[in-house]
Amino acid sequence: MSSRLFILDLAEGRVFSVQPDGTDKKIIAIGGRRPDGVAVDAEAGHIYWTNMGDPSRNDGSIERCGLDGSNRTTIIPEGATFTPKQLQIDRRGGKLYWCDREGMRVMRANLDGSDIETLVQTGATDADRRDATNWCVGIALDPGRGQIYWTQKGPDNAGKGRIFRAGIELPKGETAAKRSDIEVLHDGLPEPIDLEIDHAKRILYWTDRGDPPLGNTVARAYLDAGRDGGTAPQIVFRNLMEGIGIALDGAGDRMFMTDLAGSVYVASLDGSHPSVLLMTQGNLSGIAYANLS
């Protein structure tokens, strides 16, 4: 079975891929507008990525292309989402999910970009937008249990970052701005960014920016209270340089991370056997791992 990593360079607007050992770099797309989140539908042969655009303007978008860069198209046009960040695919449900930072939303749409919905709304005014505790950044899906997870990172180095959970579907009669099913799983975090779930072990992983010792790390916690002593976060990787992206290969007991300093890292899921795969590759944001055959 062949597999590849798909990586975004925010500064240069590039999508590229490499082997899981960091070799065989291939440029897939250029000209993105601050790309941040990437997801791969290997079965359909599609790569999706978010473009943040200018964070001061409502001009974010989402693009899709083939695994080789062919048939590139914009499926969520500029202005339909403000500052889209991490992106996830629910292939069985036929949906894309993403967080919208300055839009202060958790959103979804069909895989072709139709039927855009807001699932969570944390603010509405310009004053709300200036409050970074309202910024939705990372997202993860648990379709089997009908749940979404997301981060609200808070101001830089403020220790106000939080991770939330809610149902994938809005409760009947409720709105995205007023939901009764939202849980705060973790708070007081430095700046939680991207999320991934190890579904087999029911463990949530996330990158955390902010100052050491708690920031610029990868942390993890069990999703279910009471298992293995509770759900308190455990830091399993340190010394990222403004860490953002994370991707898991559960079968291979590997996690891959990216940071704005331009490095790609790999380690076992418990943080052991760390290694640097690539350095000085630009300002790296999102990363996805995919089995291609």
pLDDT level of residue 226 (50, 70, 90 thresholds): low
Distance between terminal CA atoms of the chain? 5
pLDDT tens digits for 8-51?
999 999 999 999 999 999 999 999 999 999 999 999 999 999 99
Provide the β-strand partners of residue 266.
Answer: 256, 275
Would you state the pLDDT for residue 293?
Answer: 75
Q: How far is the C-alpha of 221 from the C-alpha of 244, rounded, in Å?
A: 18
Name the pLDDT band for 210 (thresholds 50, 70, 90).
confident
CATH of the domain at 21: 2.120.10.30
Domain assignment of residue 47, given as a range = 3-291
CB 231 within 8 A of CB 221: yes
223-247 as b/e, with b when 16 or more CB fall inside 10 Å? beeeeeeebebeebbeebebbbbbb
Query: From the CA atom positions of the chain, what is the Rg in Å?
Result: 17
pLDDT of residue 224: 86
Range in 82-91, 94-103, 163-172, 228-237 with the lowest mean pLDDT = 228-237
Percent of the chain residues topping a pLDDT of 70: 98
Distance CA 293, CA 290 (A): 9
Which of 150, 226, 160 minimizes the C-alpha distance to 182? Answer: 150
pLDDT at 228 over 80: no
pLDDT for res 188: 95
pLDDT band for position 233 (cuts 50, 70, 90): very high
pLDDT at 230: 55
Q: Is pLDDT above 80 for 229?
A: no
Task: Determine which helix (DSSP H) or strand (DSSP E) holds 198, and give its type and residue range.
Answer: strand 191-198
pLDDT reading at 172 higher than 50: yes
pLDDT for 162 equals: 97
Q: What is the DSSP string of 87-143?
A: EEEETTTTEEEEEETTTTEEEEEETTS-S-EEEEE---SHHHHH-GGG-EEEEEEEG
Region 246-250 average pLDDT = 98
Read off the pLDDT of each residue in 258-278 and give the average, rounded to a whole number: 98
Residue 227 banded pLDDT, cuts 50, 70, 90: very low
Identify the residue with better confidence: 53 or 228.
Answer: 53
Q: How many domains does the chain have?
A: 1
Do residues 135 and 102 lie in contact, with contact meaning Cβ atoms separated by under 8 Å? Answer: yes
Contact between residue 202 and residue 177 where contact means Cβ atoms under 8 Å apart: no
Q: Is the pTM of this model over 0.75?
A: yes
Structure confidence at residue 232 as a pLDDT band (50, 70, 90): confident
What tens digit of pLDDT does each residue of 102-133 get? 999 999 999 999 999 999 999 999 999 999 99
